[in-house]
A and B are shown apart, each in its own frame.
Chain A
């Protein structure tokens, strides 16, 4: 067990090194991508600012609470981007070009390799800027999250990243069955959009669906409520972890099923 961990740790370190070298090869591109992400982030906050010009509450949420929520949503999304996003979007290319065959032959767990192949360093820079926004909005709100909240927050964030990762892997796996899956993968960007809205806004089917089928309304809302000390009952936190575990298990099933039905594209 320990030996396996050590071996995979070694592989991952090598993949990190590769990623750093690759990023440094295109420095201006690296900086431009960070700029693009910041621009989108600023615009999301701008949208919130525009809405609060015309109202002082969205459901029960005040302006800085929503800014906090947008910040957390961005933080989770950027951590997900840093570790997984590019790897998963490239899956359809790997299949189409037949490079996946080569990866399947390597004496490493194929899911591990597909998921962790590259690290997007810009994601960490953007996550830091998201964290700055989180801290600033907490100052504006005059709420003081205690030690317990600050220590549990990273665990909540990890659960949220796991949800994004598992859902995206499931979506990306469809490229085993259709040739052009970019549209589906692109669609995931639209799901990110929901995660930064207060859950109190939604009702009925939409709310149930995006809580228990595609838990977008949990990934940022639950961590936000944790910091705001508004988790009315442990139930919501429980949902977050249950859904994270559920998505992870489901994604493993989908992944195995897809691989079993994979019949190499080229050659």
Chain B
């Protein structure tokens, strides 16, 4: 266990180099977000009569985006998949085959270290953003909701990581994994709730999405927090999220085992 603490430590030191990069990333990321809020504001302004969109008031809609930004800062995978793919392609994983260290846990530690630094760097722009939107920043309705939100967010981070890890494993078979990473990211972006809350979709579509892994990559914890998902639906969602987590963990392991069999240790 102790060796993994060292990995986290090294990871933190390495990612500290990118702190300005992270700051830029987080700041630039806010621009489309602010634009989306403007867009919704004007949608609500031109609505006559019923002033809600599928149960979201304007304030509710803005809170949604505020929370998405926060959860995303804590859970998004941004460089890890590229790095893993590069490790495989360049033969850097050779050393892990010899050392008594597990590559998946090693990468997970680096992912956590990266997120920790990212959250600190993003705290400035995101904090300012939340401050300006503070009237829309609500606390969870009760303690249980808060706890479940935290649990779900942790699972979200792990799910994101295992899915990306699995995609990066494609580097064992193909030279260029970036297209696959972008395809997955596209689905994550729209079906994960980045662009809009998934429960404003037509009901059948929203129901279908519930059984895919995508909503659990971002949307689900936010829907718990906002009390959009309550009662048995909430527990059901957590169960589905946990199931996907286990599935992707198993897949990540399986794909690694298959990949390593045909790995020829190029370079290194």
Interface residues of chain A, those whose CB is within 8 Å of chain B, are 26, 29, 32-33, 35-36, 39-40, 43, 46-47, 50-51, 53-55, 57-59, 178, 180, 182-184, 186-187, 190-191, 193-194, 197, 200-203, 206
- CA–CA, A186 and B24, complex, Å: 10
Give 12 A-B pairs besides A29-B176, A203-B38 with Cβ atoms closer than 8 angstroms: A54-B53, A54-B54, A55-B47, A58-B42, A59-B46, A180-B18, A186-B28, A187-B25, A190-B28, A194-B32, A200-B42, A201-B35
| In the complex with contacts A26-B176, A190-B29, A193-B31, A183-B24 CB distance below 8 A | yes
Q: B246 at interface (Cβ–Cβ under 8 A)?
A: no
| In the complex with contacts A47-B190, A183-B18, A39-B183 CB distance below 8 A | yes
Of the candidate stretches B95-103, B104-112, B195-203, B250-258, the one touching chain A is B195-203
A187: chain B residues at CB < 8 Å are 24-25, 27-29
Find A47's partner among B31, B54, B195 (CB 8 Å cutoff). B195
Listed A/B pairs (8) with beta-carbon separation below 8 Å: A29-B175, A43-B190, A43-B195, A58-B46, A183-B24, A186-B28, A190-B28, A190-B32
| In the complex with contacts A32-B179, A35-B179, A203-B38, A180-B17 CB distance below 8 A | yes
Which are the 5 A-B pairs with shortest beta-carbon distances?
Answer: A187-B28, A183-B21, A193-B32, A32-B179, A54-B53
| In the complex with contacts A180-B17, A183-B18, A54-B25 CB distance below 8 A | no
State whether A57 touches B189 (Cβ < 8 A): no
Q: What is the minimal beta-carbon distance from A106 to any residue of chain B, in angstroms?
A: 29
Closest-by-CB residue of A relative to B181 is: A36
B195: chain A residues at CB < 8 Å are 43, 47
Find A51's partner among B28, B186, B189, B196 (CB 8 Å cutoff). B196
State whether A183 touches B182 (Cβ < 8 A): no
> Which residues in chain B, 8-27, are within 8 Å of chain A measured between CB atoms?
17-18, 20-22, 24-25, 27
A54: chain B residues at CB < 8 Å are 43, 53-54, 200
Q: What is the minimal beta-carbon distance from B185 to any residue of chain A, in angstroms?
A: 9
Interface residues of chain B, those whose CB is within 8 Å of chain A, are 17-18, 20-22, 24-25, 27-29, 31-32, 34-35, 38-39, 41-43, 46-47, 53-54, 175-176, 179-180, 182-183, 186, 189-190, 195-196, 200-202
State whether A182 touches B21 (Cβ < 8 A): yes
Q: Binding site of A, secondary structure by majority: helix, strand, loop or mixed?
A: helix
- CA–CA, A178 and B17, complex, Å: 11
Closest-by-CB residue of A relative to B52 is: A54
A35: chain B residues at CB < 8 Å are 179, 183
| In the complex with contacts A39-B183, A47-B196, A187-B25, A55-B46 CB distance below 8 A | yes
- CA–CA, A46 and B201, complex, Å: 11
- CA–CA, A39 and B25, complex, Å: 23
| In the complex with contacts A180-B18, A186-B25, A36-B42 CB distance below 8 A | no
